[in-house]
Structure 1
Amino acid sequence: MNATYIQNSIAQLKTEIFMDVRHRTLQKYTGVPVLDENQLFYLLVPFLNGEEWQQKQREAAITVGIVYAALSAHDHIEELNATSKEQQLTVLAGDFYSGRYYEILAMSGNVALIRNLSQGIVARCEHQIKVYETKKRSIEQWFASISNIESGLISKFFELYSFSEYVPIMEKSLLILRLEREWATYQRGQVSLMSKALEESARYAGATYSNVIQDKIVQLKTELLQMIGDASFLQSDVKQALQARVEASIASTNG
């Protein structure tokens, strides 16, 4: 397995997701659904590692991708300007994608997947709502919320199909990537609600946002490389692909 095979696998999954949610009018005004290729990669790691991956797993993975597309569409609604045609259609796009994964789940009759994804969606929304609440939370509590938002649905998918040993690696990887995006956005002066919440908690703890987020990223990368190295269930080529992603991220950060 090489980088080309991995990229082709991601592209194939992305195409299958697009095929299930394509709509000409929505695509004209909102573009194709937003899919995070890193999330798709980690969703596919068990398959890339040679785990049993029958049609039911493939269909479930597509459904997870559609759920992320629906949630991402709603995340892209502007807080102060949701009245334009494009913004209104983005709302409709999120609702349309939501309807598609509910329809696919209902037709599959996969009650366990329905239950797991429903629980995952509820938990994700609860963590997102916390940025609007006035209750003070610790920095680690915010990191836990970010981790759930990024990887909770994939964790539910892994747990359902007995891929639980992949969860810690996937969770740390996606948390690192989200924190790096938050830091890059913060440096550009475009502070998200999550970064504001983290900054307030850091200040309350007598620290700075810069130190807190950069220290956490370094800590997570160190732990992740150790975890990948110790993972006896991973094939050598998959282990190398995972390590390469972390090391590339480190090089980018240092550069």
Structure 2
Amino acid sequence: MTRKPIAQLARKYTEYDMIARHTDLPEFPEGRVRLLQAVLADLQELGGQAELYPLATSLVQLGLDTHDLVENEESGAKAQTKQMRARQMKVLAGDYFSGRFYHLLSQAGQIETVKRLSEAVCEVNRIKMSLYGKMKQMRVNAEEYVSYGSAIRGVLFMSFGHLMSGMYAKLWPELVERFSRCELLLQELLRLQRPDELSGSWGVWHVMGEGSAEDRRALEERSDDHGLLRQLMDKYGVADKLVALLRQSAGQLQAMLPKLPSDKLAAELANLIEPFLHGPAWVPAAAIKELG
């Protein structure tokens, strides 16, 4: 039976006129949702829940990600009326997505899943608070940043491990962690092309750990200076280092595929991993090949 893409099913909730008119939404968590759907669909006993669970999880994730956008925007007297309206709409949109997840699962009698996802949301927020606290004090290193970021992306999806058994249960936590790590590293590479998004990025924490005293001091004093950030990213070869980390993590993820109980599932996941093996379009193919 052909499966409907979860992103298509989610449009019923995400393409809400009021939201679309006043604000932009975060990127749909396509990769992780497809990963969850593919594995759950391979568990024959789940039936229609193999679509319900990823759909509900995607809405929870969208709710969290939408609220995160609010935290990164300017507030107070300097914000214009249009910006304030967009902020308010993001708060409402995040709440709306969270409410839809609860409605979907409770209607289907999936109270235990509501409980598990709610607990996962609490854990995501706990990890975020820990990361943001360290970032504010400039006490996080580059590897910690990746570990925290991967966990934040993966916790909701980890919560479905109780439905699995055998090799599925054994591999699921590592699959989610590795996939989330690859997503994060790819996102960090893409941020290098957007100077206004470099503040707080992996490259900053890499320079804080590996840079000269002078460069570290400059970062602390001028963390919002786009020109300085761009210069330091180039000076310390951040793009090359991120490509190497992405290629390494993608290779580890790829090496897990032969362990999966289903060849069909392995082939499906191989397609999901493909973007990680090639990196963003602006990264020279020769660089990826050389690192491989």
Normalising TM by the smaller chain, what interval?
Answer: 0.7 to 0.9
The 1:59/1:140 distance shift into structure 2, 3 A limit, reads same
Aligned to 2:114: 114
Aligned to 1:131: 132
Aligned-pair distance for 1:125? Answer: 1.8
Tell me if structure 1 keeps the 8 A contact 2:66–2:94: yes
The 1:103/1:50 distance shift into structure 2, 3 A limit, reads closer
The 2-side partners of 1:101 and 1:223 are apart by 33
Tell me if structure 2 keeps the 8 A contact 1:199–1:209: no
Select which of 257, 265, 281 maps to 1:228: 257
Tell me if structure 1 keeps the 8 A contact 2:57–2:156: yes
Q: Quick one: which amino acid aligns to residue 185 of structure 2?
A: L
Select which of 73, 79, 93 maps to 1:79: 73
TM-score, reference length from structure 1 = 0.79
Aligned-pair distance for 1:66? Answer: 0.9
Select which of 193, 204, 208 maps to 1:203: 208
The 1:18/1:232 distance shift into structure 2, 3 A limit, reads closer
The 2-side partners of 1:232 and 1:15 are apart by 27
Aligned-pair distance for 1:203? Answer: 2.9
The 1:209/1:145 distance shift into structure 2, 3 A limit, reads farther
Tell me if structure 1 keeps the 8 A contact 2:38–2:268: no
The 1:33/1:249 distance shift into structure 2, 3 A limit, reads closer
Q: How does 1:81-230 map to 2 (within 5 A)?
A: 81=75, 83-129=83-129, 130-133=131-134, 134=137, 136-157=139-160, 159-162=161-164, 163-164=168-169, 165-192=171-198, 194-195=200-201, 199-205=204-210, 208=236, 210=238, 212-229=241-258
The 1:45/1:114 distance shift into structure 2, 3 A limit, reads same
Aligned-pair distance for 1:69? Answer: 1.5
The 2-side partners of 1:108 and 1:199 are apart by 45
* CA-to-aligned-CA distance 1:36-65 (integer Å, 9 cap, x gap): 221221121214535433234432222111
Q: How does 1:11-50 map to 2 (within 5 A)?
A: 13-20=6-13, 23-30=16-23, 34-49=27-42
The 1:218/1:31 distance shift into structure 2, 3 A limit, reads closer
For the pair 1:65 / 2:64, whether they are aligned, the reply is: no
Aligned-pair distance for 1:186? Answer: 2.1
Percent same amino acid among aligned pairs? Answer: 18
Aligned-pair distance for 1:121? Answer: 1.0
Structure 2: gaps of 5 or more residues: 213-235, 286-292
TM-score, reference length from structure 2 = 0.70
Tell me if structure 1 keeps the 8 A contact 2:29–2:58: no
Describe the SS at the equivalent of 2:196: coil
Tell me if structure 1 keeps the 8 A contact 2:188–2:201: yes
Describe the SS at the equivalent of 1:52: helix
Tell me if structure 1 keeps the 8 A contact 2:19–2:93: yes
Structure 1: gaps of 5 or more residues: none
Describe the SS at the equivalent of 1:9: coil
The 1-side partners of 2:237 and 2:68 are apart by 23
The 2-side partners of 1:160 and 1:202 are apart by 40
Describe the SS at the equivalent of 1:137: coil
Describe the SS at the equivalent of 2:151: helix
Tell me if structure 2 keeps the 8 A contact 1:29–1:86: yes
For the pair 1:52 / 2:45, whether they are aligned, the reply is: yes
- Larger mean Cα displacement after TM superposition, 164-173 or 143-152: 164-173
The 2-side partners of 1:94 and 1:51 are apart by 33
